[in-house]
């Protein structure tokens, strides 16, 4: 199923927080605040496009979905990690692509012909971990080129309980702290999982339990790698 870009369909109002308890597993999808959760089951099955590495189809599908959902034709995607899947998805959809690794690489607003409507980053930062202050400074530097209704999407890699600060709640707190320094507010969590051969499916306003079940189904699917990542969406304070 293909969805065309329409910002009016993006969860326009914040629902009442669920009273259901969040899951207790460190790698399960959770939220620390009353933000909506949506589940994206993305079909990564494509015999005509063999994957060159594990998870490549899922990464490409996810990049394409983010570009189509959060940008319009002619706008710019700014990527803080220079991801090849996002680069391909943006250019294929008629969007400009801008890789930004250091604040010094940022162009001035007058140097951009297209507004930046989507900024993406991976968390935790790799290969050198970054503090919330460092990422907050980078996001603050991005603010002048970001469209008023633009969105920051942070992709949180699965937790590793052996690493300090590896739980989802700790990741969410660090990201929220960094985003708030740049005047951005956490507005949505996306639980993205692979669903081969069934088409793209979306569950909006999912409860904590529904999101956890979806992630566990992906993790326990027979004879295939678990493909699941949590995305946290941030917008300008006061924007819809």
Helix (H) or strand (E) holding 217: helix 208-219
Q: Are 26 and 166 in contact (CB under 8 A)?
A: yes
In the prediction, which pLDDT does 233 show?
Answer: 95
Helix (H) or strand (E) holding 190: strand 184-194
Specify the higher pLDDT residue, 26 or 192.
192
Question: Per-residue confidence at 15, pLDDT binned at 50, 70, 90?
Answer: very low
What is the DSSP code (8-state) at residue 197? T
Q: Is the pLDDT of residue 25 over 50?
A: no
Q: Are 116 and 72 in contact (CB under 8 A)?
A: no
Per-position b or e across 187-217, b if 16+ CB within 10 A of its CB: bbbbbbbbbeeeebeeeeebebebbbbbbbe
Question: Per-residue confidence at 76, pLDDT binned at 50, 70, 90?
Answer: very high
In the prediction, which pLDDT does 67 show?
Answer: 97
pTM over 0.75: yes
Instruction: Give me the domains of the chain, ranges plus CATH numbers.
Output: 29-236 (3.40.50.150)
Q: Is the pLDDT of residue 56 over 80?
A: yes
Q: What's the mean pLDDT in 224-234?
A: 83
In the prediction, which pLDDT does 36 show?
Answer: 93
Q: How far apart are CA 172 and CA 159, in angstroms?
A: 11
In the prediction, which pLDDT does 101 show?
Answer: 79
Q: Are 54 and 195 in contact (CB under 8 A)?
A: no
């Amino acid at each position: 199923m293909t969805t065309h870009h329409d910002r009016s369909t993006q969860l326009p109002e914040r629902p009442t927080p669920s009273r259901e308890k969040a899951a207790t597993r460190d790698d399960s999808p959770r939220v620390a605040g009353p933000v909506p959760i949506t589940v994206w089951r993305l079909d990564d099955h494509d015999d005509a496009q063999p994957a060159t590495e594990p998870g490549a189809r899922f990464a490409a599908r996810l990049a394409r979905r983010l570009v189509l959902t959060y940008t319009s034709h002619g706008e710019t995607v700014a990527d803080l990690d220079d991801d090849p899947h996002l680069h391909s998805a943006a250019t294929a959809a008629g969007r400009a692509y801008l890789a930004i690794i250091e604040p010094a690489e940022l162009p001035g607003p007058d140097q951009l012909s297209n507004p930046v409507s989507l900024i993406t980053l991976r968390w935790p930062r790799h290969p050198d971990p970054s503090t919330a202050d460092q990422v907050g400074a980078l996001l603050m530097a991005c603010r002048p080129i970001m469209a008023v209704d633009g969105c920051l999407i942070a992709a949180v890699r699965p937790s590793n309980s052996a690493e300090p600060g590896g739980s989802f709640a700790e990741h969410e707190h660090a990201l929220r702290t960094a985003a708030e320094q740049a005047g951005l507010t956490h507005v949505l969590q996306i639980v993205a999982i692979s669903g081969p051969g069934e088409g793209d499916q979306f569950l909006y306003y999912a409860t904590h339990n529904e999101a956890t079940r979806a992630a566990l189904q992906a993790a326990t699917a027979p004879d295939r790698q678990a493909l699941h990542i949590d995305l946290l969406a941030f917008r300008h304070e006061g924007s819809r």
